[in-house]
Amino acid sequence: MTDDRITRFEERRRELRQMTDEQLKAWFWELCEQVMAPVVELARTHTSPSIERSVLLRMGIDSLSSHGVVERIHQAGLLGKGAGHVVLEVARRDGTDVRGAAAAILESQDALRGLMTGGGVR
């Protein structure tokens, strides 16, 4: 290691030694948030039908249905809101579970109407 690098390390080490366990934990989580912020933002702004189908599969919706649901959501211009989020909103609105909401979306494009207005998908 270079002398400059060793000096910086020793300075950071002195600062960290003065911290309590709680302060170290808080600092750790703050650094984690800083590191992950760009990844979280990327996830918010970039998605794909395959990612959204994967989310629906993990929510318990079968593969064939998830493909159709994602296609309907994409056609409605709601894919950027997240297919899982849209399905949950339909389930809440209709008073059903996620499978029931998926079935409603597959049965009728009308199941997605009104989600962008009023109390719908945020």
For residue 50, give every residue at least 6 positions away whose Cβ sits within 8 Å of its Cβ, in sequence order, or none: none
Q: Are residues 7 and 38 in the same domain?
A: yes
Q: Are residues 25 and 71 in the same domain?
A: no
Asked, for residue 71, whether it belongs to a domain, the answer is: yes
Q: Are residues 62 and 93 in the same domain?
A: yes
Total structural domains in the chain? 2
Arithmetic mean of pLDDT, 67-87: 93
Domain containing residue 28: 3-45
pLDDT value of residue 1: 63
Q: What global pTM score does this model have? A: 0.63
Position 50 pLDDT exceeds 90:
yes
| pLDDT interval class at 45 (50, 70, 90) | confident
Give the span between the Cα atoms of 42 and 35, in whole angstroms.
13
Q: Are residues 9 and 39 in the same domain?
A: yes
Amino acid at 108: S
Give the span between the Cα atoms of 17 and 15, in whole angstroms.
6
Asked, for residue 120, whether it belongs to a domain, the answer is: no
CB distance 105 to 87 below 8 Å: yes
Asked, for residue 122, whether it belongs to a domain, the answer is: no
Asked, for residue 73, whether it belongs to a domain, the answer is: yes
| pLDDT interval class at 120 (50, 70, 90) | low
CB distance 94 to 110 below 8 Å: no
